[in-house]
A and B are shown apart, each in its own frame.
Chain A
């Protein structure tokens, strides 16, 4: 039981940048776009843009080990 819990946490922390990208970066970017009055391409909802950016950047950070 404890091992399973630790394994789950380990797995989650190993992809924590992706989780950060989806769970925090996406809604923040969407809110910033709305607040700044930025138009999204092809009328895509702002949250979708945020999710794409968050997912891609988070994946990059996970793979590379650095956000930049």
Chain B
């Protein structure tokens, strides 16, 4: 992914006008040269590429309705927690657990929308793609326009310390990654994904980045106004345990599974080197589907729920390419 720390928090810098160069809203084009770890003849490289893209084509396309339902339904479910807890129908501790799960699950539908996997530009259901993108991460307080730009920058520059907006979560191990994620937010604006996302928007520039900054500003101000309003209206613990704390737990988990784990150790760049498959001790669902994230980076048009099947079919090709597959 994408990391998601506190992307909406704005320091004065993002409010300045952006430089006027076009925004690269598409991931980097596929490299024409062989980029495998293992030496391949030109003919073999071309053949593997042909097979790989034929498999990818099989799994791409269509409208992933389950992801639409997930994105919109998950946000609606989180909203219903508030009256349930405020009226005493649901205990606050249960609301806290459910809110944490909901916010943790909020990113992935937006992620599909960022890649236009729900509907491509110019198609009849494009509005639905944008709706899911905007709505699904409202409670994560992750504005869609910022998410899309920074995530596509992540794809274009994966593991590049200067240009990958998600590089700040790089760490030596699982625990280090958790500590780094939390520390980046404790350090406020000077480090971590917040600063990296602002730099990415500055770099991309143009109207798209300017719009993203405006949206992020509205998100930030609205979030804090709502939290403060709730807290001073006698719902301080509800604000804390249904939103603020679940969001921080979710950000940590999302950064761990979506940003750190698939790109660890984060030292190599290149199509077949910058992302790995890995085995998560709690399984692929708990990993938010990220065990097969290598498929996503190779072929972002394959929707999340088809990554596993595509991986199984593509695995011999990836092995021959020398990809890191983590015993999966």
Query: Which residues of A pack against B, CB within 8 Å?
Result: 6, 9-10, 13-14, 16-17, 19-20, 23-24, 26-28, 30-32, 35, 61, 65-68
Interface: B11 (CB within 8 A): yes
CB nearest to A67 among chain B residues: B186
- The answer on a CB contact under 8 Å between A10 and B186 is no
Q: Looking at the complex, which of B108-116, B145-153, B231-239, B252-260 is the stretch in contact with chain A? A: B231-239
A33 shortest CB reach to chain B, Å: 11
Interface residues in B234-271 by Cβ distance below 8 A to A read 236-237, 239-240, 244
Residues in A neighbouring B188, C-beta threshold 8 A: 17, 61, 65-67
Task: For the complex, count residues of B whose C-beta is within 8 A of A.
Answer: 21
Interface: B169 (CB within 8 A): no
Residues in B neighbouring A6, C-beta threshold 8 A: 12, 15
A selection of 28 A-B contacts at a CB cut-off of 8 Å is A6-B12, A9-B15, A9-B217, A10-B12, A10-B15, A13-B10, A14-B11, A14-B12, A16-B9, A19-B224, A23-B224, A23-B227, A24-B227, A24-B228, A24-B236, A27-B236, A28-B231, A28-B237, A28-B239, A28-B240, A31-B236, A31-B237, A35-B237, A61-B188, A65-B187, A65-B190, A66-B186, A68-B186
Residues in A neighbouring B227, C-beta threshold 8 A: 23-24
- The answer on a CB contact under 8 Å between A13 and B231 is no
B40 shortest CB reach to chain A, Å: 48
Interface residues in B115-171 by Cβ distance below 8 A to A read none
CB nearest to B238 among chain A residues: A31
- New contact pairs (18) apart from A6-B12, A26-B231, CB-CB < 8 Å: A9-B15, A10-B12, A10-B15, A14-B11, A17-B188, A23-B227, A24-B228, A24-B231, A24-B236, A24-B244, A27-B236, A28-B237, A30-B236, A31-B231, A31-B237, A65-B187, A65-B188, A65-B190
- The answer on a CB contact under 8 Å between A27 and B231 is yes
For the complex, what is the distance from the CA of A32 to the CA of B232, rounded to whole Å? 13
User: How many Cβ-Cβ contacts under 8 Å join chain A to chain B?
Assistant: 56
For the complex, what is the distance from the CA of A7 to the CA of B280, rounded to whole Å? 47
Contact with A along B78-111 (1 / 0, CB 8 A): 0000000000000000000000000000000000
Residues in A neighbouring B232, C-beta threshold 8 A: 23, 27
Residues in B neighbouring A30, C-beta threshold 8 A: 236
Interface: B189 (CB within 8 A): yes
CB nearest to B16 among chain A residues: A6
- The answer on a CB contact under 8 Å between A23 and B231 is yes
B278 shortest CB reach to chain A, Å: 31
For the complex, what is the distance from the CA of A32 to the CA of B321, rounded to whole Å? 56
Contact with A along B166-200 (1 / 0, CB 8 A): 00000000000000000000111110000000000
